[in-house]
Amino acid sequence: MIAAHDLSALRSLARLHKVAVSELRTAEKRLFKHRLPVDEVLAALPEAAQAAWRGGVDWHPLVLAQRRDSQLDGASKLAFRTADGATIESVMLRFRTGRSSVCLSTQVGCAADCAFCATGKLGLRRNLTAPEIVDQVLQAARLFRAEGRVLRNLVFMGMGEPLHNEEALGEAVEALRDPERFNFADRFIVVSTVGVPAAMVRFARRFPGVNLALSLHSAREEVRRWLVPTTRRHPLADLRAALAEVSALHGGHTVLIEYLLFDGLTDTHADLEALVAFVAGIPVHINLIPFNPVAGTESLGLRSTPKERREAFGAALKQAGLKVTLRRSLGTDIDGACGQLAQREGALKAPVV
């Protein structure tokens, strides 16, 4: 089976069935640029080729099994079934500015085991394939299109640690930014990692224009190791060195730092000082994120920092000369916010589309 994003295989198949160049270009445009449904893509081709493309291409390795729309904001959580019966989730995000974004998964479950995350509790089942990653984009783009919106931003921040699945991630990013295929702009793609230093540098070398975001959450070694156990193998000093190299590879551009604020754990004066020291000399933009409780985290003593203290933490960082944003979480009522994916996996029913 040919993957729907494999342009050279699609072109070979078209040549085999003597599809005219103009017809092929129309089909490609419908698929990659306009992200139209499969039937409309195939309609651009002569009949014989239509049958070959219909049967020979794996158009959708994922089946949309459930969609939940937030009643609070512009988020929709999509639950997809894979061919081997696993469930993964993506989140469509609609911002007031008109911007549309999708948060993508890269693994079924996750091995990073972050203390605050529902996905981490599942453990790792398997890596997603590149076609499964790309299909999340394609299906979300079509849903946005039906609403008259254009998907612009891709954020690899869903289920899984993207840099634990480097090969498929690389193939998917390649297809998504390819001008002949999906043509997403590098600056609108963000890959978020808990911090795998060598893989961060490899990724930045391969895709110097694509944004890497480091989910740091604490610049105190013992706290970070507890919050993100997988980072035990990667001391903060190694991470800092990788961050500096990534910034240099990005031409000195700012690197995003994601920082979850936990009451009394990551929001104290000592945390502030450690964070300022950790990023000193590296151009960064710090995103402060409110913690969204998931089942089981209360017994660990994890509580969200109240809003006023989040603002005070942000103001103190700004005073230290750093660029800071206080992120507003979307989709908290549909378990679609950061760390909440996979909470209700067992609640899935029959496909809805």
The answer to the question of residue 196 lying near ligand SF4 (CB under 6 A) is no
The answer to the question of residue 260 lying near ligand SF4 (CB under 6 A) is no
Tell me the window of 32-40, 105-113, 137-145, 195-203 that interacts with ligand SF4 (CB under 6 A).
105-113
Pick the closer one to ligand SF4 by CB: 42 or 289.
289
In whole angstroms, what is the distance from residue 75 CA to residue 98 CA? 13
Got the DSSP string for 150-219?
A: ---EEEE-SSS-GGGSHHHHHHHHHHHH-TTTT---GGGEEEEES--HHHHHHHHHH-TTSEEEEE---S
**Minimum Å distance from CB 311 to ligand SF4?**
24
Number of neighbours of residue 101 by Cβ within 10 angstroms = 23
What are the distances in angstroms from CA 157 to CA 46, 119, 257? 40, 11, 13
The answer to the question of residue 290 lying near ligand SF4 (CB under 6 A) is no
In whole angstroms, what is the distance from residue 4 CA to residue 215 CA? 32
In whole angstroms, what is the distance from residue 341 CA to residue 155 CA? 14
**Given 28, 89, 171, 258, the catalytic residue:** 89
Point out the residue whose Cβ comes nearest to ligand SF4.
Answer: 120
Pick the closer one to ligand SF4 by CB: 45 or 190.
190
Pick the closer one to ligand SF4 by CB: 45 or 288.
288
**Given 103, 171, 338, 345, the catalytic residue:** 338
What are the distances in angstroms from CA 322 to CA 184, 244, 287, 293? 29, 16, 11, 28
* Total of residues contacting ligand SF4 (CB under 6 A): 12
Pick the closer one to ligand SF4 by CB: 3 or 115.
115
Within residues 146-165, the interface with ligand SF4 by CB under 6 A covers 159-161
**Which residues are within 8 A (CB) of 315 and not within 5 positions of it... i.e. 6 or more apart?**
none
Known active-site residue 89: yes
Residue window 318-347: x/- pattern of binding to ligand SF4, with contact defined by CB under 6 A: ---------------------x--------
Tell me the window of 8-16, 31-39, 107-115, 139-147 that interacts with ligand SF4 (CB under 6 A).
107-115
Known active-site residue 40: no
Pick the closer one to ligand SF4 by CB: 119 or 297.
119
Tell me the window of 6-14, 113-121, 166-174, 233-241 that interacts with ligand SF4 (CB under 6 A).
113-121
Dihedral of the CA atoms 10, 172, 108, 85 (nearest 10)?
Answer: -10
Got the DSSP string for 2-65?
A: EETT-HHHHHHHHHHTT--HHHHHHHHIIIIIS---HHHHHTTS-HHHHHHHHHHEE--SSEEE
Candidates 90, 119, 304, 332: give the one binding ligand SF4 (CB under 6 A).
119
Q: Is the CB of residue 242 less than 8 Å from the CB of residue 193?
A: no
Pick the closer one to ligand SF4 by CB: 121 or 323.
121
Residues involved in catalysis: 89, 338
- Applying CB under 6 A, which residues contact ligand SF4? 110, 112-114, 117, 119-120, 159-161, 194, 339
